[in-house]
Structure 1
Amino acid sequence: MNIILTEVNEKNFWNVINLKSDLDQEKRIQIFERWVGSNTFFLAACQVYGFIPRAIYDGETLIGFASHGLNKETGRYELISLMLGHPFQGKGYGLPILKAVIDEMAEIYSCKEVYLSVIYNNEAAIRIYEKIGFKPTGEIEEGHHPEPIYRLDINEYLSQKI
């Protein structure tokens, strides 16, 4: 695996937009997919709120999308979205991608904590988040679905050997 995070630009924009997290989503245009908002939705959120969008590649193959930034409402650095295209799920990408995004956030923001929310029954994502070191805060974000909020202590994360 050669995980690379890059900007979303004119060359990869349509490919990022068309990357779906579920085969069933290939037939639909929706703002929210089963486990995550669409990449289109999060690209718009990045534009409005000043978050950073990232196309995720394995070498030259686009495999996912992420966005992160400072939530000005909460004052927290957040992993806003993380999605892996359905053809690449179940192939061991989850942990390396999450590590790459967290490493980038730690470098860019020099933050001490990273927060995220996840749909309460997305067990696969929750397992990966907890393996990295995210812990539930007990808070719930009320969005399209109720989503528990998780917190990662960057110092603890950096001291691990995952």
Structure 2
Amino acid sequence: MNLRLAQVNEDNFFDVINLKSDEVQEKYIQIYERWVGSNAFFLAMCQTHGFIARAIYDGDVLIGFTSHGFSKGLNQYELNSMMLGHQFQGKGYGAPVLQAIIDDMVQAYQCDSIYLSVIEDNERAIRVYEKLGFRPTGEVVLGHHPEPVYCLTLTQAAAGQ
């Protein structure tokens, strides 16, 4: 694996928005997919809220997308989206990609905690988040789905490794 996070720009924009987390979704342009908002939705969110968007590559192959930033309203750093194209799921990318995103956030923000929410029945994603140290806060946010909130406290994560 040769993972890297790159800026979303004119060269990869359409590839990023066309990358889908579910093969069935490839036929549709929509705001939400089954497990995650569309990449187009999160790119708009980044533009509106000043968050960072990253294309995820393995070598030269686009495999996913992520976005993160500081929520002024909640006063916390958030991992807003992490998605892998359906053709790259189940291939061992989850934990290494999440670690690369955590590293990117620490470098960008020097943060000591990261929050995220996940659709409550997305068990595969929850396993990956918990494997890397995210723990439920007990909060639930209501978007299109009920989403439990998880937090990674980086000083604890570093001590556990």
- Class of the TM-score when normalised by the shorter of the 2 chains: over 0.9
Alignment partner, residue 149 of structure 1: 149
**Match of 2:117, as an amino acid?**
S
Unaligned runs of 5+ in 1: none
For 1:117 and 1:28, locate their aligned partners in 2 and report how far apart those are by CA, in whole Å: 24
For 1:50 and 1:72, locate their aligned partners in 2 and report how far apart those are by CA, in whole Å: 10
Q: What displacement does 1:16 show?
A: 0.1
Q: What displacement does 1:157 show?
A: 1.6
Q: Secondary structure at the match of 1:64?
A: strand
Deviations 1:9-53 (A, max 9, x none): 000000001000000001111100000000000000000000000
For 2:113 and 2:103, locate their aligned partners in 1 and report how far apart those are by CA, in whole Å: 12
Alignment partner, residue 59 of structure 2: 59
For 1:71 and 1:85, locate their aligned partners in 2 and report how far apart those are by CA, in whole Å: 26
Say yes or no: does 1:10 pair with 2:13.
no
Runs (4+) off by over 2 Å: 158-161
Root-mean-square deviation (CA, aligned residues, Å) is 0.6
Say yes or no: does 1:23 pair with 2:23.
yes
Say yes or no: does 1:68 pair with 2:68.
yes
For 2:81 and 2:107, locate their aligned partners in 1 and report how far apart those are by CA, in whole Å: 18
Q: What displacement does 1:67 show?
A: 0.2
Unaligned runs of 5+ in 2: none
Q: What displacement does 1:141 show?
A: 0.6
Alignment partner, residue 88 of structure 1: 88
For 2:41 and 2:54, locate their aligned partners in 1 and report how far apart those are by CA, in whole Å: 14
Q: What displacement does 1:128 show?
A: 0.3
Query: Identity of paired residues, percent?
Result: 63
For 1:14 and 1:24, locate their aligned partners in 2 and report how far apart those are by CA, in whole Å: 18
For 2:132 and 2:156, locate their aligned partners in 1 and report how far apart those are by CA, in whole Å: 10
Q: Secondary structure at the match of 2:8?
A: coil
Using the size of structure 2 for normalisation, the TM-score is 0.98
Deviations 1:72-96 (A, max 9, x none): 1100100000000000000000000
Q: Secondary structure at the match of 2:15?
A: helix
Alignment partner, residue 100 of structure 2: 100
**Match of 2:34, as an amino acid?**
R
Alignment partner, residue 79 of structure 1: 79
Using the size of structure 1 for normalisation, the TM-score is 0.98
